[in-house]
């Protein structure tokens, strides 16, 4: 069997067949709970995936989101669709995907953000991602709406290891994410 190879490409560079394969992979990895909105959220940015002769082993993508903090709108790299095939977990494949996505965050965004499950959180914390200590909200149709269920599971990472926020801005303040259909975060 060949060694697993890491690939990266923007959504626009992936064929319909490749996108279908990634979508099916994510649906399987998330036990059928990866819905159409989740798939839409993973598109439009850079994908990183690992495969070998047996097929896809791991995937993740980073897309642009707008986040308002302290009265400023910031361009944030938001990590989506991170999964590793069940029979290949704990081999470092998720770390390889995250390293590629973090390179994109470091080069293109003010900071990175993601929403982590309890099972996924150890991967992110081991890589230096930290829980946002403040409130989480979304700019919805009725104005800013707090998302208390996302507090404690929204992780951030400063680009290139820099602080997430400039000096003088408190990380205890609210992060207000842009609206999107489905799970907002």
The pLDDT-based confidence of 140 (bands split at 50, 70, 90) is: confident
52/162: higher pLDDT: 52
pLDDT digits (tens, 9 = 90+) for 147-160: 999 999 999 998 87
- Please state the rounded mean pLDDT for residues 85-101: 96
pLDDT at 2 over 80: no
pLDDT digits (tens, 9 = 90+) for 45-81: 999 999 999 999 999 999 999 999 888 899 999 999 9
Check residue 166 and give its pLDDT: 67
Share of the chain above pLDDT 70, in %: 96
Share of the chain above pLDDT 90, in %: 82
Domains of the chain by start residue, with CATH: 5-177 (3.40.630.30)
Check residue 1 and give its pLDDT: 55
Check residue 173 and give its pLDDT: 82
User: How many angstroms separate the CA atoms of 40 and 43, rounded?
Assistant: 5
- Please state the rounded mean pLDDT for residues 20-40: 95
Check residue 163 and give its pLDDT: 75
Check residue 184 and give its pLDDT: 86
- DSSP per-residue string spanning the chain: -PPPEEEEEEGGGS-HHHHHHHHHHHHHHTTT---HHHHHHT-SSEEEEEEETTEEEEEEEEEEEEEEETTEEEEEEEEEEEEE-GGGTTSSHHHHHHHHHHHHHHHH-SEEEEE--TTTHHHHHHTT-EE--S-EEEEETTEEEE-GGGTTTEEEEEGGG--SS-TT--TTSPEEEPP-SSS--
For the chain, the distance separating the N- and C-terminal CA atoms, rounded to the nearest angstrom, is 38
- Please state the rounded mean pLDDT for residues 129-137: 92
């Amino acid at each position: 069997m060949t060694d697993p190879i890491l690939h990266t490409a923007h959504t626009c560079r992936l064929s319909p067949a490749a996108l279908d394969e990634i979508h099916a992979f994510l649906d399987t990895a998330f036990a059928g709970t990866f819905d159409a909105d989740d798939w839409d959220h993973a598109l439009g940015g850079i994908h990183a995936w690992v495969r070998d002769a047996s097929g896809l082993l791991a995937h993740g993508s980073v897309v642009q989101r707008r986040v308002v903090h302290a009265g400023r709108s910031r361009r944030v790299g938001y990590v989506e669709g991170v999964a590793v095939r069940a029979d290949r977990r704990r081999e470092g494949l998720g770390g390889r995907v995250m390293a590629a996505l973090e390179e994109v965050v470091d080069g293109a965004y003010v900071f990175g953000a993601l929403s982590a499950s309890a099972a996924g959180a150890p991967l992110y914390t081991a890589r230096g991602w930290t829980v946002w200590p403040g409130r989480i909200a979304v700019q919805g149709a009725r104005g800013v709406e707090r998302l208390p269920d996302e507090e404690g599971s929204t992780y951030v990472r400063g680009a290139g290891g820099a602080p997430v926020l400039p000096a003088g801005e408190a990380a205890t303040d609210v992060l207000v994410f842009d609206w999107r259909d489905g799970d907002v975060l």
